[in-house]
Amino acid sequence: MRLFISGKEGFEIDDLILKAKAKFDWHIDPIQLGAQFIKAGEAEDLPRMIKKIKTSAWRSFFIDEAKKLKGSII
């Protein structure tokens, strides 16, 4: 699944990690990133979406992305 930002082209999480590393010169720890993604499943202060999307859809997106990080952690 691709992450779409403001109607622009879609980005893969791996691409966003590389772009963040290049911009901020900061290592992004896959364990901490995965932990933050998992928190989407229990978030109560929901984001205001530009485009209508079911809460279950974006929650499952972040949980699936956290599962994909398993290969980077182990």
Q: Global pTM?
A: 0.70
Lowest average pLDDT, out of 4-8, 15-19, 38-42, goes to 4-8
Residue 39 has pLDDT above 80, yes or no: yes
**Residue-number span of the structural domain to which 45 is assigned:** 3-73
Q: How many CB atoms lie within 10 A of CB 61?
A: 17
Q: What is the pLDDT of residues 46-72, one digit of tens each?
A: 778 788 888 888 888 889 889 988 887
Q: What percent of the chain has pLDDT over 70?
A: 85
* Amino acid residing at 56: S
Q: Give me the sign of the Cα torsion angle 33, 39, 40, 43.
A: negative
Return d(Cα 49, Cα 70) in angstroms, integer: 28
- Provide the number of structural domains found in the chain: 1
Which two tokens mark 16?
């966003």
- 11: β partners: 3
Residue 6: what pLDDT? 46
